[in-house]
Amino acid sequence: MFQDETILLVEDNRDDELLTLRAFTRNRIANPIVVVRDGEEALDYLFARGSYAARQQDSFPVLILLDLKLPKLDGHEVLRAIRQDERTRLIPVIILTTSAEEEDIVASYDLGANSYIRKPVDFSEFMEAIRLVGTYWLILNEQPRLR
Amino acid sequence: MKRRSEPGLREQQLLREKILGFGEGSLRKSHYPELRVRLLELERFRFILDQIDLGIMIIGMNDDTILDCNEETCRLFGKSRRDLVGTTIESHLHDAGWYSRMKEAGGGVEILASPHFSTVSPRYLEVALHQVSFGGDAYLITIVRDITDEKAASDTIVRTRDMFAAAFRLSHMPDASEGRILTEALQKTVLLTQSRYGILGVVSHDERFFTTYRSDAGSSSQSGISPIGKNGPWERIMVGNGASIADEGIRMDLPITDGGSVVAIISLFEKAVPYDDLDLKQAMYLGEILWQVILRRRAEDRLRRLNAELEDRVSRRTAELAIANSELEAFTYSVSHDLRTPLRSIDGFSLALLEDFGESLPAEASEYLRRIRAASQRMGDLIEDLLLLSRISRKEIRRETFSLSDLAAEIIADISSSHPRANVSVHISEGMFVSADRRMIRIALENLLGNAWKFTVGKERTEISFDMRDDGITPVYSISDNGAGFDMVYAKKLFLPFSRLHSNEEFPGTGVGLATVSRIIRKHGGAIRAEAAVGAGATFYFTLGTKNEIGEEENHVSG
Q: What is the ipTM, given to two decimal places?
A: 0.81
Q: For residue B380, which residues of chain A lie inside 8 Å, CB to CB? A: 120-122
Q: How far is A141 from chain B (nearest CA, A)?
A: 28
pLDDT digits 0-9 by tens, B159-209:
888 888 888 888 888 788 888 888 888 888 888 888 889 988 888 888 888
pLDDT, greater one: B504 or A30: A30
Give the pLDDT of residue B218: 67
Dist. CA B160–CA B192, nearest whole Å: 9
Chain A contact probe: residue of B336, B345, B356, B378 with most A CBs at under 10 A: B345
Please, which residues bridge with residue B129 across strands?
B108, B142
Query: B285 Cβ partners below 8 Å, 6+ apart?
Result: B163, B167
Dist. CA B6–CA B460, nearest whole Å: 152
Query: With contact defined as beta carbons under 8 Å apart, do A129 and A98 qualify?
Result: no
Q: How far is A100 from chain B (nearest CA, A)?
A: 8
Rounded average pLDDT over A126-139: 89
Residue B147's nearest CA partner among B177, B192, B114, B171 is B114
Domain-located, residue A103: yes
Question: Residue B27: is its pLDDT beyond 80?
Answer: no
Phi, psi of B424 (to 5 degrees): -115, 135
Give the pLDDT of residue A146: 56
Domain-located, residue A142: no
> CA-based Rg of chain A, rounded to a whole angstrom?
14
Distances in Å between the alpha carbon of B145 and those of B72, B80, B95, B407?
9, 18, 18, 101
Give the pLDDT of residue B551: 44
Residue in A16, A101, A123 closest to B341 by CB: A16
Contact B379 A15 (CB under 8 A): no
* Residue of chain A whose alpha carbon sits nearest to that of B370: A122
Q: For residue B350, which residues of chain A lie inside 8 Å, CB to CB? A: 123
Residues of chain B with pLDDT > 90, as a percent, come to: 22
Q: What region, left, alpha or beta, does residue B421 occupy, with left being phi > 0 and alpha being psi -120 to 50 degrees?
A: beta
Query: With contact defined as beta carbons under 8 Å apart, do B440 and B517 qualify?
Result: no
For chain B, the average pLDDT equals 83
Question: Residue B246: is its pLDDT beyond 90?
Answer: no
Give the pLDDT of residue B381: 86
Sign, CA dihedral A82-A83-A84-A85, equals positive
Give the pLDDT of residue B506: 76
Q: Which of B223-227, B334-338, B542-546 has the lowest mean pLDDT?
A: B334-338
Distances in Å between the alpha carbon of A35 and those of A7, A30, A38, A99, A112?
9, 15, 10, 20, 22
Q: Which of A60-74, B36-50, B271-285 has the lowest mean pLDDT?
A: B271-285
**B20: pLDDT confidence band, cut at 50, 70 and 90?**
low
Question: Residue B22: is its pLDDT beyond 90?
Answer: no
Rounded average pLDDT over B301-325: 90
Query: With contact defined as beta carbons under 8 Å apart, do B540 and B478 qualify?
Result: yes
Domain-located, residue A88: yes
Please, which residues bridge with residue B403 across strands?
B433
Residue A67's nearest CA partner among A135, A124, A17 is A17
Rounded average pLDDT over B289-314: 90
Give the pLDDT of residue B502: 78
pLDDT digits 0-9 by tens, A3-48:
678 999 999 888 999 999 999 999 988 899 999 999 999 999 999 8
Q: How far is B397 from chain A (nearest CA, A)?
A: 15
Dist. CA A111–CA A82, nearest whole Å: 10
AA identity, residue B251 = R
HSE (side-chain half, CA atoms, 13 Å) at B299: 6
In the sheet where B538-542 sits, what is the strand order?
B424-428, B462-470, B475-481, B538-542, B528-532
pLDDT, greater one: B233 or B134: B134
Give the pLDDT of residue A5: 86
**B466: pLDDT confidence band, cut at 50, 70 and 90?**
very high
Rounded average pLDDT over B373-384: 88
Query: With contact defined as beta carbons under 8 Å apart, do A121 and B336 qualify?
Result: no
Distances in Å between the alpha carbon of A130 and those of A137, B455, B549?
10, 35, 49
Distances in Å between the alpha carbon of A81 and those of A31, A54, A70, A92?
24, 21, 15, 14
Query: A59 Cβ partners below 8 Å, 6+ apart?
Result: A1, A2, A3, A4, A6
Domain-located, residue A139: no
The count of structural domains within chain A is 1
Question: Residue B150: is its pLDDT beyond 70?
Answer: yes
Contact A101 B336 (CB under 8 A): yes
Distances in Å between the alpha carbon of B62 and those of B66, B144, B174, B281, B362?
11, 21, 68, 52, 159
Rounded average pLDDT over B114-129: 68
Contact A123 B333 (CB under 8 A): no
Q: Which of residues 56-75 of A touch B (CB under 8 A)?
A: 69
Q: Count how many residues are written for chain A.
A: 147
Q: Show contacts of B289-296: CB within 8 Å, 24+ apart.
A: B289/B167, B289/B170, B289/B171, B289/B185, B290/B170, B290/B181, B290/B182, B290/B185, B290/B256, B290/B264, B291/B256, B291/B258, B291/B263, B291/B264, B292/B171, B293/B170, B293/B171, B293/B173, B293/B181, B293/B185, B294/B178, B294/B181, B294/B182, B295/B258
Please, which residues bridge with residue B224 across strands?
B212
Residue B524's nearest CA partner among B426, B443, B458 is B443
Contact A19 B352 (CB under 8 A): yes
Contact B351 A120 (CB under 8 A): no
Which residue numbers of B have CB closer than 8 Å to A's CBs? 333, 336-338, 340-345, 347-352, 355, 373, 376-377, 379-380, 387
Question: Residue B6: is its pLDDT beyond 60?
Answer: no
Give the pLDDT of residue B231: 65
Q: Which of residues 77-106 of A touch B (CB under 8 A)?
A: 97-101
Query: B411 Cβ partners below 8 Å, 6+ apart?
Result: B442, B445, B446, B449, B450
Phi, psi of A145 (to 5 degrees): -70, 125
> CA-based Rg of chain B, rounded to a whole angstrom?
54
Question: Residue B496: is its pLDDT beyond 90?
Answer: no
DSSP labels, B327-357: HHHHHHHHIIIIIHHHHHHHHHHHHHHHHHH
Residues of chain B with pLDDT > 70, as a percent, come to: 89
Q: How far is A103 from chain B (nearest CA, A)?
A: 11
Give the pLDDT of residue B21: 56
Please tell me whether the peptide bond between B115 and the residue prior to it is cis, using omega within 30 degrees of 0.
Answer: yes
Domain-located, residue A120: yes
* Residue of chain B whose alpha carbon sits nearest to that of A69: B337
pLDDT digits 0-9 by tens, B381-439:
888 888 888 778 777 888 899 999 999 999 999 999 998 888 889 999 998 999 999 99
Domain-located, residue A73: yes
Work out the end-to-end distance of chain B between its first and last CA atoms, rounded to an integer number of angstroms: 106
Work out the end-to-end distance of chain A between its first and last CA atoms, rounded to an integer number of angstroms: 6
Q: For residue A130, which residues of chain B lie inside 8 Å, CB to CB? A: none
Per the structure, the complete domain to which residue A102 belongs is given by 2-134
Give the pLDDT of residue B306: 93
Give the pLDDT of residue B372: 93
Question: Residue A107: is its pLDDT beyond 70?
Answer: yes
Domain-located, residue A140: no
Q: Which of B17-26, B253-262, B347-356, B451-460 has the lowest mean pLDDT?
A: B17-26
**B328: pLDDT confidence band, cut at 50, 70 and 90?**
confident
Give the pLDDT of residue B1: 41
Query: With contact defined as beta carbons under 8 Å apart, do B477 and B543 qualify?
Result: yes
Q: How far is B338 from chain A (nearest CA, A)?
A: 8
Q: For residue A100, which residues of chain B lie inside 8 Å, CB to CB? A: 336, 387
Write out the E strands in B299-448: 400-403, 424-428, 433-436
Contact A69 B337 (CB under 8 A): yes
Q: For residue A124, which residues of chain B lie inside 8 Å, CB to CB? A: 351
AA identity, residue B160 = T
Rounded average pLDDT over B309-333: 86
* Residue of chain B whose alpha carbon sits nearest to that of A125: B348
Question: Residue B18: is its pLDDT beyond 60?
Answer: yes
Q: How far is A109 from chain B (nearest CA, A)?
A: 19
* Residue of chain A whose alpha carbon sits nearest to that of B395: A102
Query: With contact defined as beta carbons under 8 Å apart, do B286 and B192 qualify?
Result: yes
Domain-located, residue A147: no
Give the number of other CB atoms < 10 A from CB of residue B371. 11
Task: Give the domain CATH number at A55.
Answer: 3.40.50.2300
Rounded average pLDDT over B317-338: 80
Question: Residue B554: is its pLDDT beyond 50?
Answer: no
SS3 (DSSP) at B476: strand
Contact A98 B376 (CB under 8 A): no
CA dihedral B294, B298, B300, B305 (to 10 degrees): 160
Q: How far is A68 from chain B (nearest CA, A)?
A: 10
Query: A109 Cβ partners below 8 Å, 6+ apart?
Result: A116
The secondary structure of residue B318, as a DSSP letter, is: H
Phi, psi of B273 (to 5 degrees): -115, 165
Residue B69 sits at the vertex; the CA angle it makes with B68 and B75, to the nearest 5 degrees, is: 150
**B3: pLDDT confidence band, cut at 50, 70 and 90?**
very low
Q: Which of B23-27, B146-150, B233-237 has the lowest mean pLDDT?
A: B23-27
**B362: pLDDT confidence band, cut at 50, 70 and 90?**
very high
